[in-house]
Amino acid sequence: MTENEISSIVIGLAIEIHKKLGPGLLENAYQECLFYKIKQRGLFIEKEKAMPLIFEDVKLDCGYRIDLLVENKFIIEIKSVESLTVNHLAQTLTYLKLGNYKLGLIINFNEVLVKNGIRRVFNNL
């Protein structure tokens, strides 16, 4: 399955979850629901995946954690904030680069229409 196919599935599930729960909950609530729905679809998914920094051939734990990693190649960062910022984009780009992943999504569930809070983020390997 390609990253674009995973992206389409995840966006559909995020919209489904948002329709049922609406905005205003904590990030963890949306993360758990999305984790459950993706797993239910039969995709391999990990949550709070540790992302070490490799520096001079040494693996350093800097506290980086990907909210959701799907099929070992697609990252999802869950937010529930007033609006997405450049810091959210930088965080997601960091994960893409450290893990050598091509594509990820930032999903801000704190929007009236969740589609307005979805950002695709690319890593130009």
Q: 88 or 124: whose pLDDT is higher? A: 88
For the stretch 59-112, pLDDT in tens is: 787 778 999 999 999 999 999 999 999 999 999 999 999 899 999 999 999 999
pLDDT band of 17, cuts 50, 70, 90: very high
| Domain 3-122: CATH class, spelled out | alpha beta
What pLDDT score was predicted for residue 85?
Answer: 94
With contact defined as beta carbons under 8 Å apart, do 98 and 64 qualify? yes
Q: Is the pLDDT score of 121 beyond 70?
A: yes
Task: Tell me what the mean pLDDT of segment 27-50 comes to.
Answer: 97
- How do strand 74-79 and strand 103-108 relate by DSSP bridges? parallel
Q: Is the pLDDT score of 125 beyond 90?
A: no
Full-model pTM: 0.93
Q: What are phi and psi of 61, to 5 degrees?
A: -90, 105
